[in-house]
Homo-oligomer: A and B are copies of this chain.
Amino acid sequence: MVKFSDFAQTLQSSDIAALLKLTEQPEVISFAGGLPAPELFPIEEMKKVDVAILEKEGRQAVQYGTTEGYVPLREEIAKRMKQAFFVDCKAENIVVTTGSQQALFILSQILVNKDDTVLMESPSYMGAIMAFDPVCPKYTEVPTDDKGMIPEELEKILASDAKVKMIYVIPDFQNPTGITWPMERRKAFMDIINKYDVVVVEDDPYGELRYDGEKLPSLKSMDTQGKVVFLGSFSKIFMPGLRLGWTVANPEIIDKFVKFKQAVDLGTSTFGQRQAAYFINMFDLDAHVTKIKALYAKRRTLMYESMQKYFPEGITFTYPEGGLFTWVTLPAYMDAKEMMPKVIAKQVAYVPGGIFYPNGGNANHFRLNYSNMPEDRIVEGIQRLGEVLKEELR
């Protein structure tokens, strides 16, 4: 028997993970993960990219690099921050991370003490909860409606809790709900947080994947006090397996972040960073994103229309203007986790909604992903889900 640390003792196997394991066979129509469509990965282009890296940079491309990351990639990210997120920044404000998951982990470590408060939307990304858990924070869920965090509720909490250190938000096509904060919410949010000593972590892996409506400025672009830390990712616009994300922050935060990252993994793959940088230079990442958007928009619309067609009355769901997910709400007496075995028996999978609430409860929701299933399977899967829902509705 090993004596684990107090925190490690809390790491238990989840029954949901065990259920989702059952859904990994290829015959299952899985809306459970958050996987990008692999058919769009630029495999042929990557052959040219990899050879070019090895020819042009050779040894340097596979030697140890700096913890901050490969400068030409950080310069490309700075351009992208301007063009896609309206943020003025330079390479020195940017750190490349081993996925934006790593940034979530590091930020909680450098900003939050045990029993400090972390604010989140309700619900919020389960991977962020997992990343923050090791510092043992108190989670306060800020009441959230179909336009995102409710400013008045946020202000009430900030005014009454002096231990709030970090506010974690996903204003664009939120995971899990698909909801996007409109402009007035963003403004109201920034007005409030500017009055308090807190750091905002704006997680925006889907921001470039908007299918309708107008692009909105990121919170970081409205940040006049250096309070917002912006997290971007190559996982959804390029390829997730390279594990490449980035963090934009003020110099004070970047300094601590880099020192902590050094302890965690010394630095992100030097070759992987070049794969992204060379692809951007040799090919057209914007055109690639356009292709992704066209496919996902079609799948989003098809899933939405299929839910309208096959889901019984009394079930509601969001219409995401972008991103990868839609969020289904059942009548309060229903439990999406308890329903899972029946859903799995029909060879379909979703993620039950309860795990997206750091403080539990809210069993009457589930999250659906539409980016990773071909069109015919989306229709078939939603139809089967609709059958289970009809059986379960009172």
Contacts and interface: CB of A to CB of B under 8 A. Distances in A.
A286 to B, nearest CB: 19
Interface stretch (A127-135, A177-185, A324-332): A127-135
Given A62-B242, A264-B264, A269-B241, A253 B2 contact: yes
A224 interface: no
Contact of A43 (B11, B59, B64, B265): B59
A5 B64 contact: no
A50 interface: yes
Given A7-B109, A105-B263, A265-B105, A63 B35 contact: yes
A110 interface: yes
Contacts of A134: 109, 260, 263
Interface stretch (A95-103, A187-195, A213-221, A349-357): A95-103
A14 to B, nearest CB: 10
Interface string A65-78: 10000000000000
A394 interface: no
A156 interface: no
A99 B264 CA distance: 9
A61 interface: yes
Given A241-B62, A241-B271, A242-B271, A5 B105 contact: no
Nearest to A58: B43
Contacts of A242: 62, 269-272
A27 interface: no
Interface in A5-58: 5-8, 11, 13, 33, 35-36, 38-39, 41, 43-44, 46-47, 50-51, 54-55, 58
Interface in A248-267: 250, 252-253, 255-256, 259-260, 262-267
Interface residues of A, number: 77
Given A2-B252, A50-B47, A109-B134, A62 B266 contact: no
A54 B43 contact: yes
A268 B243 contact: yes
Contacts of A264: 101-102, 105, 131, 264
Nearest to A57: B43
A303 interface: no
Interface in A207-252: 235, 239-243, 250, 252
Interface of A: 1-8, 11, 13, 33, 35-36, 38-39, 41, 43-44, 46-47, 50-51, 54-55, 58-65, 98-99, 101-102, 105, 109-113, 116, 127, 130-131, 133-135, 165, 197, 199, 235, 239-243, 250, 252-253, 255-256, 259-260, 262-272, 275
